[in-house]
Structure 1
Amino acid sequence: MSAAGSAPPPLPSKESASEQSFRRRRLSVADLDTSEFDDEPADEKSPNGTDSKRRIRRMSMSPEMGVVRKKSDLPFPLEIVGTYSCHGVEPGMRHGETSAKINQDRGAVCYPFADSDEIAMFSVFDGHGVCGDKVSHFAMNTLQAILEDHPLLTDKPAQALKHSYLQCDSLLKQEPTIDAELSGTTAVVTVMIGSKLFVANAGDSRAVLARRSPSGGVIALDLSEDQKPDTPAEMARIKKKKGFVSPPEEEWGGPARVWLDANMTLPGLAMARSIGDHLVTSIGVIAEPEVMEHELGRDDLFLIMASDGVWEFISSDEAVAICAPIVAQAGATEACTKLIERAAAKWREEEGDYRDDITAIVCKFPCLQQRPA
């Protein structure tokens, strides 16, 4: 489910049931323009303020669908790694009209990473709340900068990822230009070190591996678990901290939510972990990610990472089935495009005039040490 930062107020009765449904479930609009992330200068500052003498990393933010970039600006060839983001839409003032939402998703590909051709970083962030786009943009930039300088990155990657998420969240609390009390972001990050994948996740964006099956088909393997408030372990932590969890709404399809009080007034967060959402930190909503490790084998074909704009109506198995023949024949960028187009079509079928932001990354194996000419 899309994770609106708080439950919206009651709606006028003149609205249709379907309009009320989408607003209760998903409406989350910020008012900042999305800006393109430029390559960092050589004399960049690390998050602790010290000078970093690293070479300029090839960091590419997921562009809006339809934007064509120069191959020389990309970390990987288009057929190896493809990524796009697609802003959401919402109903306009008149029946049948739609207007564009501000895109609160962010995606990024970094390679080479930490001065190494054997390390790459892939990340997807899904912001929510009034300042959701600010939070996701901050997390995209800050998390990769912290992680690149982390002393345990190559020796203990899982520990480095957990430390980096927590430090990113701490720095967000200190950022005076962003109010992250009722705004936050999911964060799913894959660090590839040689033949190993380390996948860190906080929230309900997801990483999925496509693998050749013994029968010759292609199967999906989830490399992250969606952290919903009613997941047993997550709910136990929240209740231990005196928080409240409401079950999914059967009538209008809303997700389970986290609340500060039994009257369920604030904030109605639809996930148990996130970066930001500091109002509910005291009741067990945490920024620390779960980390999974996977050793790539010869039957592993490609990786999909996406915000829940994909996963809302498309399962992991379906996403792999959509992408598999396209990755094999046309490459990762074409597969990423088709996946987002299919997700957008599902939103039209299920929600009519409303669509959440959609961001996806498709990475074909092997990928390290492959760059555009």
Structure 2
Amino acid sequence: MGGCCSCHVSILGKVHDEEYECSHHNVASFERGGSQVMLNGSSKFASMYTQKGTKGVNQDAMTVWEGFAGDKDMIFCGVFDGHGPQGHRFSQCIRDNLPSKLSAAIKLPQQNAADTGSYDEDNRHMSFASWEGKFLRSFKEMDEDLARNIDRDGYCGGSTAVTVIKQGDNLIVGNLGDSRAVLCTRADDNHLIPVQLTVDLIPDIPSETVRILDCGGRIFATGEDPGLNRIWMPEGDCPGLAMSRAFGDFCLKDYGLSSAPDVSYRKLSKRDEFVVLASDGIWHVLTNNEVINIVASAPTRSMAAKLLVHHAVQAWRYKYPGFHVDDCAAICLFLNDQHVLTSSQSSVRGSWKKLH
């Protein structure tokens, strides 16, 4: 199996001494800007869990902000999958700073309206174009900060990001790279249906291919991973990135790699049960349908993300014996007050018992 980034240049060994704002690494929950921030664990509506793979330091990071942007009805969730020699620094710094940038962008028009006396309840509900603009600006600012503070030479790696903001029955999704968000909804006959909310942004997508080639980048697979196309600089064997959009990887930003997220919107209904955000370590070995049924089978909500990660790790060991297990991170965001186990998930629940 191939990693996200394949590089063979000595400059990758360079590490900068500057410290960016990457605090609270070992704290499970704390308050920030009026929001309750979680880095692990669970709450009434969210379950989070990550497990290091067998390749070294865990480069996955994640966060949930409840009461986001000062709105008690708003929740932010994000999973960030780092890659390259400094991938963990990228994912952690994005985790610690991107939500604040989005929160500030959301609060600004509300504050301006309040200062002029024009604020009312309708100001809380922005158009999709406004949401998209805030995501695009916040991601751009985040990437610029990373270039200044983490990777001045452009060869230290990067990170994906899959993020959602839930405000009432509105769900806004911002995706960068090949992590994924999947919604679980319930059909008329009561069985569960997965709805993939994001597109895996990889070089194989025609529109991504065109942009990369137009910018002078190259796309090809290596002999080690013949089925995995990667982005390469015009000359040399660097960096071999398996996604078409990412934070960081600045050596490729002039050759088609983009830090602009794909932003989408969904109106939630009473049939919608939960959303799973996870790094590609989970999606490589489990289908969307398997993922939602594993989560739905959890004895309690607090166990859901851990159960999912454990199933993914088992699947890695079974499907790819002898290969490294990837880092795995998952957030399960529950949309309703009730979480009902159906008979169709009973066999999956039995496998949970075997894990303990």
Pick the TM interval, shorter chain.
0.7 to 0.9
* Aligned-pair CA distance for 1:194: 1.5
| Candidates 35, 49, 52, aligned match of 1:87 | 52
CA deviation after TM superposition for structure 1 residue 316, in Å: 1.1
Contact 2:231 2:244 in 1 (8 A): yes
Tell me how far apart the structure 1 counterparts of residues 109 and 135 of structure 2 sit (CA, whole Å): 9
1:244 and 2:214 are equivalent in the alignment: no
Q: Which amino acid aligns with 2:289?
A: D
Q: How much has 1:38 moved relative to structure 2?
A: 7.0
State the one-letter code of the partner of 1:221.
V
Secondary structure of 2:69's match?
coil
Following the alignment from structure 1 to structure 2, what is the Cα–Cα distance between the partners of residues 204 and 84?
Answer: 19
- TM-superposed CA distance for 1:170, in Å, is 0.7
TM-score normalised by length of structure 2 = 0.79
SS class of match (1:181)? coil
**Aligned amino acid, residue 127 of structure 1:** G
Residue in structure 1 matching 2:238, options 262, 266, 273: 266
Supply the distance in 1 between the matched residues of 2:307 and 2:327 (Cα, whole angstroms).
15
| Separation in structure 1 between the aligned mates of residue 94 and residue 205 of structure 2, nearest angstrom | 25
Aligned to 1:357: 327
Aligned length: 307
Name the counterpart of 1:295: 267
1:334 aligns with 2:338: no
- SS for the counterpart of 1:233 is helix
| Matches of 1:252 and 1:350, distance apart in 2 | 16
Mapped pair 1:279 → 2:244: no
Give the corresponding residue for 1:65.
Answer: none
Q: Alignment partner of 1:114: what SS?
A: helix
**Which runs of no fewer than 5 residues in structure 2 stay unpaired?**
10-14, 111-123, 338-356
Bigger helix share: 2
Give the conservation status (yes or no) of the 8 Å contact 1:323–1:335: yes
2:8–2:238 CA contact under 8 A, matched in 1: no
Where structure 1 has 5 or more consecutive residues not aligned to the other structure, the ranges are 10-29, 43-53, 63-68, 91-100, 368-373
Residue 281 of structure 1 and its aligned partner are, at CA, apart by 0.1
Structure 2 residue aligned with 1:185? 159
Which of 165, 172, 189 aligns to 2:139? It is 165
Stretch of structure 1 that moved more, 173-182 or 184-193 = 173-182
Could you tell me how far apart the structure 1 residues matched to 2:48 and 2:318 are?
A: 24
Paired letter, 2:304: A
Contact 1:191 1:197 in 2 (8 A): yes
Corresponding residue number in structure 2 for 1:4: 4
SS at match of 2:166: strand
Paired residues of 2:62 and 2:78 also in contact (CA < 8 A): yes
Alignment-derived partner of residue 65 in structure 2: 110
Distance in 1 separating the partners of 2:306 and 2:31: 30
Cα distance between partner residues in 1 of 2:68 and 2:104 = 10
In structure 2, relative to structure 1, the CA distance for the partners of 1:171 and 1:130 (3 Å cut) is same
- 1:185 counterpart letter in structure 2: S
- State the match for 2:113 in structure 1: none
Query: Which among 277, 283, 288 is matched to residue 316 of structure 1?
Result: 288
* Distance in 2 between residues matched to 1:59 and 1:185, nearest whole Å: 21
Matched ranges for 1:134-149 at <5 A: 134-149=89-104
What SS is found at the alignment partner of 1:120?
A: strand
Counterpart of 1:4 in 2: which secondary structure? Answer: coil
Match of 2:353 in 1: none
Query: For the residues of structure 1 that align with 2:241 and 2:247, how far apart are their CA atoms?
Result: 12
Structure 1 residues 140 and 2: CA distance shift in structure 2, 3 A = farther
Give the aligned residue type for 2:336.
Answer: P
Separation in structure 2 between the aligned mates of residue 111 and residue 231 of structure 1, nearest angstrom: 34
Cα distance in 2 for partners of 1:89, 1:276 equals 24
Whole-Å separation in 1 of the counterparts to 2:200 and 2:148: 28
